[in-house]
A and B are shown apart, each in its own frame.
Chain A
Amino acid sequence: MLKRRPYLITFLTAFGLIIAPFVLPHLGFAPNTVNRILVWGLFGIGFDILFGFTGLLSFGQSAFYGTGGFVAAYLLTRAGFPHVVTAIFIGAIAAAVVGYLVGLLALRRTGIYFCMITIAISEVFFFVEFNPLSEWTGGENGLPGVPAPSFDLGFIKMSFTSGWTLYQFLAVCYFVGIVIALRIVRSPVGAILSAIRDNPLRASAVGHDIHGYKLTAFVIAAAYAGFAGGLLGMMQGFMPPDAFMFDTSGQLVMQSAIGGIGTLFGPLLGAAVWLFLQDFLQVALDLGAAWKLVLGVVFVLLVVFLRRGLIGGIADLYNLAFGKKTAPAEESPEMDVAVDAADEPDVAPMPPHRRAPEGYNGPILKAIGLTKHYGGLAANSDIDFTVNYGELRGIIGPNGAGKSTFFKMLTCEVVPTAGKIVFEGNDITGKNVTDVCQLGLTKSYQVNQLFTHLTVRENVEVAVLAEMRGKFKLDLFGNPDMIPGLNEQIAHTLAMVNLIGRADTPVSALAYGEKRRLEIGLALANSPSLLLLDEPLAGMSPRERAETVKLLKSISKGRTMIVIDHDMDALFELAERVTVLQEGRVLVEGTPAEIKNNEAVQQAYLGGLKEVA
């Protein structure tokens, strides 16, 4: 939603901020309430990038809010620093630096561990502010006397003291904040952050350094928090110590969830609802301290029934009212026609972009003595395996033969217990899956690993970005459309896996066969020189199988591929050579004809015929 019509959203934001002082007083909002809403909204933009876009729920944002606020307030009061805006920026930078250090620790873990660590860290900041640092921070008294911003332009002196004059200053800050956030969200980094939220495993497997990007999101969130903290002190003329309290983090989380996460504007709306209800319940209904209970109940109900918050609810209502149906889950008849039309793929093959190292003319992949033990269980033992350039190798073997473990070792998802893997002359043993992907070795998974909340096109885009930008690049304000060749390669990949007609469909609305093709497309998108396919035909109907075999043939032009599958007819048709694994060892290797007639293979698959006879 935020990605389309970029100028419209910017324009509407500016328009809304300009007319707010004329409209909101009639709705019962005092100017100071509106100013607080803006500060919360700005605080929430960073949090939304972290939680809504990257999927990292932090309950510790108060640490950065307080850090930024106290650094700015200290500079402006005790240190006598004269420039208000500069001080606030210094506060934001300090918060970002602290965020970087905290992120290094907190991001060692994911999920609930991450949540627990952020809570613990923010609690530490609260105590540090109160005790060891109380000489600088004023302890429980906070820092009073924070000046309001004023600018001397020579001919006119503008000062923004309170009420609607201060609003002008805060509105400009919010506007700049939202414009920057919109750029980040639409940048290549933004696309990768969403991919990390949906499927971190796959995001790293298509070649992105997800730790670096998570840390980036964490630092961005900390910088926004620090900036908002500085504004808080300035707005109140006093930097309160309770900025550091857990309640601050909790209120931010609740406001964002009420407004709607993943929308950037959700925290602003949530803050408006929160502060309005607080005033309304306390004053108009005379509920006293019970206002927070009412808000707590509202919050629980929203999480239970309207998980995308108010903005999500409004969007759903809009779609319901104007009959915008989501795409059907099953392939419509037209799609079948499209598939038929593509029976003869006329798409040009997509040769790998990378070249083998100069002067190297050995095999593309060589595994020596590869062994993997899980406790006492030997999944793979002493496998020697060589694949030459341009080959299409098949791997078969009964269930539990260790085929998938073997693939995982080749792509460095699993560290081998012993042995060595050499890819294009480089020893890749012990590297990680991201680096190996960047070298040009990718895999499509046995069980689909897609970015489920993104569209087909966005899925492929995430994978192509990894090739075009490398594993980590901070083009936070970049425009994906400006990356040369990106759109062409996305279109080409979609054409190869025959999903052009579904490019703007969300993955959740795809049929199973289409998801399988997208799975292959993700591995293919960054034009690997060696492509591994783990059971690409699994779960497909006979017709889909036939189409996929055709697809695999066209992909294999100019590329080396290794395919695991149980469908032997398909594999014998595809592969030039076949390796048979049994009980973690190489049983035999040869051409399809040799394998078909090999007694040991027949024995392995049909099991001791002689004994029965």
Chain B
Amino acid sequence: MINWANFVSQAFNGLVLGALLALISSGLTIIYGTLGVLNLAHGAMFMLGGYAGYVAYNYTGSFIVAVAVGALFVMLVGVVMERVIIRHFYSRPPEDQLLVTFGISICMVEIVRFFFGSLSQTVPAPAVFSGITSLGFMFYPTYRLALVGIIAIALLVLFLVLYRTRIGMIVRAGIEDSLMVDSLGINVYRIFMLVFGIGAMAAGFAGIVNAPVVSITPDMGESILVQTFVVVVIGGVGSFPGAVIGGLIAGEIISLTSMVNPGYAYVMLFAAMTVVLVLRPYGLLGTQGRE
């Protein structure tokens, strides 16, 4: 029989994972929507955020510094990557972009492995959020509760930047038609760099705030990347709201299925993706033509 306390706790786990996937997928989807590049190194950037934060935490002992360093370092990596390599691939076939970002992700993973080894590392939760909280009917780790709030704030900031600022308006216009934005006299390549930076930062931020929940390993980005793809396919490529909804759906599917049998979590996730692909080929909130 279903154990209700267990069910609610798994539903919360699903919310945490879903929020995390929503944030990472938003980064992936705005990069794809604007630049037309599917960044296969996005999972590696998630991992990189965790490690950059881990280093910062070891030097300063401050979780806030760790989060700031994790997010900003990955943003910097994203900007450099866009300037040095991705820029040359805008006019090349999409398959080349996939190949080069895949190669970059291998390099990132192996660099981290070279310096930190393959063993997992941990970043403790900040003291304020350590321990467990009683929700009346059950106990739940405090940091996971806080994490939902932290990611919700991050998503809200991303939403405000995208929907309430001039830059955000240009980015959204770029998702619709980057050629048109270019011909309106806006330097679209600077926007591309910015978007790549923001998208990377979302992954890096997710990587460090998630570090206290899981221990970090060099290849942690791979499974996250796969889940992110499913989220984007479900939500619709290039759609920020789609990424958020898709993330929450995917998080709950994985968590609730794991409660019954962890072996089937991916099968169910895949089944959900299949249903969406059959019924709404462009995703729940996607539109035709963004491909």
Measured between alpha carbons, how far is A292 from B102 in the docked complex, in Å?
Answer: 13
Provide the residues of chain B in CB contact with A132, threshold 8 Å.
263-264, 267
A111 and B291 contact, CB distance less than 8 A: yes
Provide the residues of chain B in CB contact with A463, threshold 8 Å.
none
| In the assembled complex, B176 has its CB within 8 A of some CB on chain A | no
A127 and B263 contact, CB distance less than 8 A: yes
A-B contact pairs, 10 of them (CB 8 A): A57-B95, A108-B278, A112-B32, A113-B237, A120-B229, A120-B273, A124-B266, A246-B222, A254-B102, A303-B99
B273 and A300 contact, CB distance less than 8 A: no
Interface segment among B2-10, B109-117, B151-159: the answer is B109-117
In the complex, which of the residues B222, B230, B264, B291 contacts A110, with contact meaning CB atoms closer than 8 Å?
Answer: B291
Provide the residues of chain A in CB contact with B261, threshold 8 Å.
131
| In the assembled complex, A608 has its CB within 8 A of some CB on chain B | no
In the assembled complex, the CB of A148 is this many whole angstroms from the nearest CB of chain B, namely 33
| In the assembled complex, A540 has its CB within 8 A of some CB on chain B | no
Provide the residues of chain B in CB contact with A123, threshold 8 Å.
223, 226, 266
Closest to B105 in A: A296
- With contacts A120-B230, A132-B267 known, is A55 near B95, CB below 8 A? yes
B103 and A299 contact, CB distance less than 8 A: yes
In the assembled complex, the CB of A307 is this many whole angstroms from the nearest CB of chain B, namely 6
Instruction: Name 5 extra pairs, CB < 8 A, besides A293-B110, A293-B113, A296-B103.
Output: A59-B98, A113-B291, A253-B102, A254-B102, A304-B100
| In the assembled complex, A73 has its CB within 8 A of some CB on chain B | no
| In the assembled complex, B186 has its CB within 8 A of some CB on chain A | no
Q: Which of B247-291 contact A (CB under 8 A)?
A: 261-267, 269-270, 273-274, 277-278, 281, 291
A112 and B273 contact, CB distance less than 8 A: no
| In the assembled complex, B107 has its CB within 8 A of some CB on chain A | yes
| In the assembled complex, B170 has its CB within 8 A of some CB on chain A | no
For B46-69 the 0/1 string (1 means CB < 8 A from A) is 000000000000000000000000
For A214-247 the 0/1 string (1 means CB < 8 A from B) is 0000000000000000000000000000000010
Measured between alpha carbons, how far is A577 from B124 in the docked complex, in Å?
Answer: 82
| In the assembled complex, A289 has its CB within 8 A of some CB on chain B | yes
| In the assembled complex, A71 has its CB within 8 A of some CB on chain B | no
- With contacts A110-B291, A120-B226 known, is A253 near B99, CB below 8 A? yes
| In the assembled complex, B126 has its CB within 8 A of some CB on chain A | no
Measured between alpha carbons, how far is A299 from B109 in the docked complex, in Å?
Answer: 14
A120 and B270 contact, CB distance less than 8 A: yes
Measured between alpha carbons, how far is A105 from B278 in the docked complex, in Å?
Answer: 8
| A interface size (C-beta, 8 A) | 41
Provide the residues of chain B in CB contact with A111, threshold 8 Å.
94, 291
- With contacts A110-B291, A127-B265, A300-B85 known, is A119 near B98, CB below 8 A? no
In the assembled complex, the CB of A413 is this many whole angstroms from the nearest CB of chain B, namely 15
In the complex, which of the residues B98, B266, B267 contacts A112, with contact meaning CB atoms closer than 8 Å?
Answer: B98
| In the assembled complex, B106 has its CB within 8 A of some CB on chain A | yes
B104 and A290 contact, CB distance less than 8 A: no
A297 and B107 contact, CB distance less than 8 A: yes
- With contacts A123-B226, A131-B263 known, is A304 near B110, CB below 8 A? no
Chain A contacts to B: CB under 8 angstroms: 51, 55, 57, 59, 105, 108-113, 115-117, 119-121, 123-124, 127-128, 130-132, 246, 250, 253-254, 257, 289-290, 292-293, 295-297, 299-300, 303-304, 307
Measured between alpha carbons, how far is A117 from B291 in the docked complex, in Å?
Answer: 13
For A121, A127, A250, A253, which residue has the most chain B Cβ atoms within 10 angstroms? A127
Closest to B281 in A: A108
| In the assembled complex, B74 has its CB within 8 A of some CB on chain A | no
Provide the residues of chain B in CB contact with A115, threshold 8 Å.
38, 98
- With contacts A57-B98, A120-B226, A120-B233 known, is A292 near B32, CB below 8 A? no
In the assembled complex, the CB of B286 is this many whole angstroms from the nearest CB of chain A, namely 10
| In the assembled complex, B232 has its CB within 8 A of some CB on chain A | yes
Provide the residues of chain B in CB contact with A299, threshold 8 Å.
103, 106
B107 and A296 contact, CB distance less than 8 A: yes
Measured between alpha carbons, how far is A522 from B262 in the docked complex, in Å?
Answer: 55
| In the assembled complex, B166 has its CB within 8 A of some CB on chain A | no
- With contacts A108-B281, A124-B266, A128-B267 known, is A289 near B274, CB below 8 A? no
In the assembled complex, the CB of A479 is this many whole angstroms from the nearest CB of chain B, namely 30
In the assembled complex, the CB of B187 is this many whole angstroms from the nearest CB of chain A, namely 24
Closest to B32 in A: A112
Provide the residues of chain A in CB contact with B223, threshold 8 Å.
123
Provide the residues of chain B in CB contact with A120, threshold 8 Å.
226, 229-230, 233, 269-270, 273
Provide the residues of chain B in CB contact with A117, threshold 8 Å.
229, 233, 273, 277
Provide the residues of chain B in CB contact with A55, threshold 8 Å.
95
Measured between alpha carbons, how far is A304 from B97 in the docked complex, in Å?
Answer: 10
B226 and A246 contact, CB distance less than 8 A: yes
Provide the residues of chain B in CB contact with A300, threshold 8 Å.
85, 100, 103-104, 107
In the complex, which of the residues A116, A290, A292, A304 contacts B233, with contact meaning CB atoms closer than 8 Å?
Answer: A116
Measured between alpha carbons, how far is A131 from B226 in the docked complex, in Å?
Answer: 18
A105 and B277 contact, CB distance less than 8 A: yes
In the complex, which of the residues A127, A257, A296 contacts B267, with contact meaning CB atoms closer than 8 Å?
Answer: A127
Provide the residues of chain B in CB contact with A292, threshold 8 Å.
106, 110
| In the assembled complex, B96 has its CB within 8 A of some CB on chain A | yes
| In the assembled complex, B190 has its CB within 8 A of some CB on chain A | no
B85 and A304 contact, CB distance less than 8 A: yes
A112 and B291 contact, CB distance less than 8 A: yes
- With contacts A110-B291, A120-B273 known, is A296 near B110, CB below 8 A? yes
Measured between alpha carbons, how far is A123 from B233 in the docked complex, in Å?
Answer: 15
In the assembled complex, the CB of B216 is this many whole angstroms from the nearest CB of chain A, namely 17
Provide the residues of chain A in CB contact with B266, threshold 8 Å.
123-124, 127-128
B95 and A116 contact, CB distance less than 8 A: no
A109 and B229 contact, CB distance less than 8 A: no
B96 and A303 contact, CB distance less than 8 A: yes
Provide the residues of chain A in CB contact with B237, threshold 8 Å.
112-113
In the complex, which of the residues A113, A257, A290, A307 contacts B114, with contact meaning CB atoms closer than 8 Å?
Answer: A290
Provide the residues of chain A in CB contact with B92, threshold 8 Å.
307
Measured between alpha carbons, how far is A304 from B99 in the docked complex, in Å?
Answer: 10
Measured between alpha carbons, how far is A565 from B46 in the docked complex, in Å?
Answer: 54
Provide the residues of chain B in CB contact with A289, threshold 8 Å.
110, 113-114, 118
A109 and B291 contact, CB distance less than 8 A: yes
A293 and B103 contact, CB distance less than 8 A: no
Closest to B271 in A: A124
For B38, B98, B233, B265, which residue has the most chain A Cβ atoms within 10 angstroms? B98
- With contacts A112-B291, A246-B226, A293-B110 known, is A303 near B100, CB below 8 A? yes
For B21-63 the 0/1 string (1 means CB < 8 A from A) is 0000000000010000010000000000000000000000000
In the assembled complex, the CB of A259 is this many whole angstroms from the nearest CB of chain B, namely 13
Closest to B218 in A: A289
Measured between alpha carbons, how far is A523 from B182 in the docked complex, in Å?
Answer: 35
Closest to A126 in B: B266
What 7 A-B pairs have minimum CB-CB distances, sorted nearest first? Answer: A131-B263, A293-B110, A296-B106, A300-B103, A116-B229, A296-B107, A112-B38
B38 and A131 contact, CB distance less than 8 A: no
Provide the residues of chain B in CB contact with A124, threshold 8 Å.
266-267, 269-270
B99 and A257 contact, CB distance less than 8 A: yes
Provide the residues of chain A in CB contact with B291, threshold 8 Å.
109-113
In the assembled complex, the CB of A543 is this many whole angstroms from the nearest CB of chain B, namely 32
Measured between alpha carbons, how far is A110 from B38 in the docked complex, in Å?
Answer: 13
Provide the residues of chain B in CB contact with A119, threshold 8 Å.
225-226, 229
For B85, B95, B262, B266, which residue has the most chain A Cβ atoms within 10 angstroms? B95
In the assembled complex, the CB of B249 is this many whole angstroms from the nearest CB of chain A, namely 14
Provide the residues of chain A in CB contact with B277, threshold 8 Å.
105, 108-109, 117
Provide the residues of chain A in CB contact with B111, threshold 8 Å.
293
In the assembled complex, the CB of B33 is this many whole angstroms from the nearest CB of chain A, namely 11
Provide the residues of chain B in CB contact with A121, threshold 8 Å.
270
Measured between alpha carbons, how far is A127 from B264 in the docked complex, in Å?
Answer: 8
Closest to A57 in B: B95
Provide the residues of chain B in CB contact with A112, threshold 8 Å.
32, 38, 94, 98, 237, 291
